[in-house]
Amino acid sequence: MIGEQSDKQVSNIGGERSKLTEPCSIIIFGASGDLTARKLIPALYHLCKEHQMPADFRVVGFARREKTDESWRNELRMALDQFSRTKPVDEKVWTDFSKNIFYCQGDLTEDAAYKKLEGMLTSFGSGPLRENLLFYLATQPSQFGEVIEQIHRAGLLNKNGAAWQRLVVEKPFGHDLASARALNAELTRYAHEQQVCRIDHYLGKETVQNILMFRFSNSIFERLWNRESVDHVQITVTEKIGVGDRGGYYEEAGALRDMVQNHMLQVLALCAMEPPVSLEAEAVRDEKVKLLKSIRALSPDDVAKQIVRGQYFAGVVNGQLRPGYRQETKVKTDSNVETYVALKLFIDNWRWSGIPFYLRTGKNLPMSASEVRIQFRPTPNVLFAAQCGQHLDPNAIALRLQPNEGIYLRFNGKVPGMSLGVRPVRMNFSYDSEFGAYTPEAYERLLLEAIAGDATLFIRRDEVETAWQIVDSIRAGWKDKALTNREFYAAGTWGPIAADDLLAQQGHVWHEPQIIKP
């Protein structure tokens, strides 16, 4: 379990089974922020509703503002009306759940505040509610070090002991390799790496978790999942919205840091990794790291040939005129920050040698969608070419991560009639049609995994640092280079011309995500 050195961590990928959870207290630092009201409390409420929480638990919000237990509960109840994934809120569940919610007012920098927190936890009893502690750091990363040191000094965080304590932290995990290493050193100064849960909410999505199940439990597909059968792979994560009021953040991050370093490289690792030796958490995470380390290093010349950045200018989306990125709030009028990035990566291992992996993500594109497309090699063009010509499409498997989650297999079929006509057709699997509408939110699953001590869905230190090595090499290749005309794109289009040029180098084209309803 996370925080227990001797126990093996067993992944949840192997099938539905109840999580073994012990009574504990969950302490949320920065509890007055949006994350708590929008994600954390709704997630914990739904875990209660689904009978997934421990038999006994407490939730303590720690923040600077003056509030009572009752006033904070009332605030959270109003937020739940807005952010719960099921409505109306079940009053009985909320009443039972809210009795376990408490508020601790204090400043993150003051010793007295942590003594007050320790006193509140002690008041819950001398057993697991005082000893088994999950600290959720919903604060700025710059505050992590001080919070961790303070809770250690207050006797609430220990590296060894019969009980467990765990730290949950949100991305960004640094802004480059050096800062990531410094942050990891802070996180592990008073805690073991096994006690740290780095959350990337993408890994909590049901469809992302299904990638490994689909690959490794279906022999008809796994035997095709290699360089012998696959022509190339496309991973697309698009957003219909622009930067909006996040201009200040985006000027520091850009699409490469915001999306590629975490979400997209994680999806790539799951799609391309080797089968783990078991479903133990470390076995799964070992294979992800091995895959990321197999990505071919990029020199500045490679970056110029294999990486495309883009930036949107004013355009029309759904009949509405959108401003250009340089006209957004808190954005420099001559900014070269990328709102779009496309990559061609190669994985230097036995399975994927020579196969290009294309990744793209961007803002202000025609739709919000996430999809992985495995395109297979075309058949020899000797039987049907004369009559079918270009209509004979290569086979493909698309894993739709969102929306309308599912999987479809694209193949060629004969058009009914006397002539030999061909048309691409699909076999379509829809989550909603097959399993019903219930799909837990990512934070529900991630919080449950943290409470249960399953590390599978959390990012390990070496994963973070390996991903930053890749991103840093790209940023080094871009240094002091201005965007070219071929790297700008109108809001509401699929990206810059340079991204099409990237695929055309090998005779490939982008395939736009398609929303296929059951």
Residue 88 burial (C-beta neighbours within 10 Å; 0-12, 13-18, 19+)? exposed
Nearest to 45, CA basis, from 71, 77, 18, 17 = 77
Q: At 385, is the secondary structure helix, strand, or coil?
A: helix
DSSP single-letter state for residue 312 = E
Does the N-terminal peptide bond of residue 88 adopt cis geometry, omega within 30 degrees of 0? yes
DSSP letter (8 states) at residue 280: B
What type of residue sits at position 234? Q
SS3 content of the chain, % helix, strand, coil (to 5): 40, 20, 40
Report, as residue numbers or ranges, the catalytic residues: 263
Contact 352, 227 (CB under 8 A): yes
Measure CA 418 to chain center: 50
CA–CA separation, 422 and 163 (whole Å): 64
Torsion sign across C-alpha atoms 404, 407, 410, 415: negative
Q: How far is CA 247 from the centre of its chain?
A: 21
Indicate the angle between helix axes 442-452 and 41-49, nearest 10 degrees: 80
Query: CA separation (Å) from 110 to 30, 107, 120, 137, 179?
Result: 14, 6, 16, 16, 25
What burial class does residue 334 get, using C-beta atoms within 10 Å of its C-beta: 0-12 exposed, 13-18 middle, 19+ buried? exposed
Q: What are 268's two structure tokens? A: 């790539």
Length of the chain: 518
Amino acid at 262: N
Buried residues in 487-502 as b, exposed as e (16+ CB within 10 A)? bbbbbbbbbbbbbbeb
First to last CA, the chain: 40
Pairing of strands 24-29, 57-63: parallel
- Rounded Cα gap, residues 171 and 201, in angstroms: 9
C-alpha count within 13 angstroms, C-beta hemisphere, residue 103: 20
DSSP letter string, 35-49: HIIIIIHHHHHHHHH
DSSP assigned state of 366: S
Determine the 3-state secondary structure of 188 from DSSP: coil
